[in-house]
Amino acid sequence: MPQPQHFPAPADTLTTCASLTIAPEMMDGVTSLSPGARTANRAAMNNHAATNNHAATNNPATNNPATNRPTTNRAASYQVATTHGANHTPTPSAAPSPPPAFTDADVLTAHLGGKLSIQLRAPIADRRDLSMLYTPGVAGVSRLIAREPAAARAYTWASRVVAVISDGTAVLGLGDIGPKAALPVMEGKSALMKAFAGLDSVPIVLDTTDPDGIVAAVKAIAPSFGAINLEDISAPRCFEVEQRLTQALDIPVMHDDQHGTAVVVLAALMNAASVIQRVMIDLRVVIAGAGAAGIACAKILHAAGVRDLILVDSKGVLHASRENLHPVKAEMAEITNPRGVSGVLADAMAGADVFIGVSGGSVDPALVDTMGPKPITFALANPTPEIDPRDAARRGAAVVATGRSDYPNQINNVLAFPGIFLGALDCGARLITEGMKVAAAGAICAAVPGRASADRIVPDPFTPGLTRMVADAVINAARAEGVAGLETWPC
């Protein structure tokens, strides 16, 4: 019998590593730091890192995606997880604790000068190195690639570099803040790509919101990259941009706001189903929000076998008879809502087993009372979930997840996108298919240590070998679907 979750109330103020207090969200109005403050704050951060020893959990020697390959075959657990819920290798582990607090000054210091730099892989120590790595030696490499373009995979960085591209129109919970303000977020995404997958990436922000302009710009720079990670582009333009680039390019393209969220939602739901002892594909699922994440969640759940699935947007339930729907929503209305439910969110939630919120709006907690027995709620809006997790638990929700790090079961894209891109690049995939995403979700589901429980339905992002597990699942799916390409260049 699943035990009810108990959620701590988030403190209004938190003690920080610098012995100061600050609200959990970053304070407004701080624009710069004095040199003295920078020095003192950097020292405080270094001391805090040493005290908490976070670096050890993400050390390349212990968490290198290239070397920490799983020793067991995950195919069987993926098949069982997709249909029934979780199937785990028992590895007892404590539930992750909330991250330590920090001040706005800590944040500004950590970002000072940006978060990225370029490092040399081939040293230039003398004239011989200089002549080999630049002119005249480099001409021989260029001639080879001109004759055999596939050689670029082995002799340039393109096959191991991801472009992280945004127009700044839908950034985190900040909305349309423009390209310059979006750049720190894209740098952060690149930092995660390096830390968790060992992949280099380049953050690129575009000063255009026109889909034609975005597509043209990305197509023009694509030869320099092995994959394209679209980020924080608002709906519905994001659907068109991703579709057109996927069709135009022979490298993987993925809009992470859609598919990273969807992959982790599927993984979490597999485990949540096992906690309440239900078959996942038999669950009645309601998704509040039919934007980028909502549509992607619906697609991946449908691909994984869930059929009683209802999408709700700001105007009500999506159904086949509803008029004036955007083509993307009309397509989803045709393959979802098999019972023909109409009306508003309350009508959809009556008797539902699962609520997934990706709308950013507020939902009456009383609607949890109208759901089926042992309901599951994923309220993923940040920083304010659609339903307060404590209210959901008090009203009988058996499993509760949010998008926040200070509650159990954070639905965090970092569990998915590093491994998805690593796998796609490792096998030379031409695109990222729905099957590859479902496989990634199966690997994330199976990575939860021990048996899934109400407060542990997703693994910790720092789980050793997690990225490699996801990557291997993606590779196997790509090969099975015939989209894997040249995996090694015969040097």
Provide the annotated active-site residues.
Answer: 134, 189
Token pair for 178: 């423009």
CB atoms within 10 A of CB 196: 23
CB 248 within 8 A of CB 215: yes
| Rounded CA separation 70/455 (Å) | 25
Q: Kindly tell me the burial class for residue 128, based on how many C-beta atoms sit within 10 Å of its own C-beta (0-12, 13-18, 19 or more).
A: exposed
CB atoms within 10 A of CB 430: 18
Q: Phi and psi dihedrals of 287, rounded to 5?
A: -115, 120
| Rounded CA separation 399/371 (Å) | 13
Q: Which DSSP symbol is given to 159? A: G
The amino acid at residue 381 is: A
Closest CA to 287 of 345, 232, 366, 362: 345
Closest CA to 391 of 400, 382, 383: 400
| Rounded CA separation 168/105 (Å) | 24
Start-to-end CA distance of the chain, whole Å, equals: 58
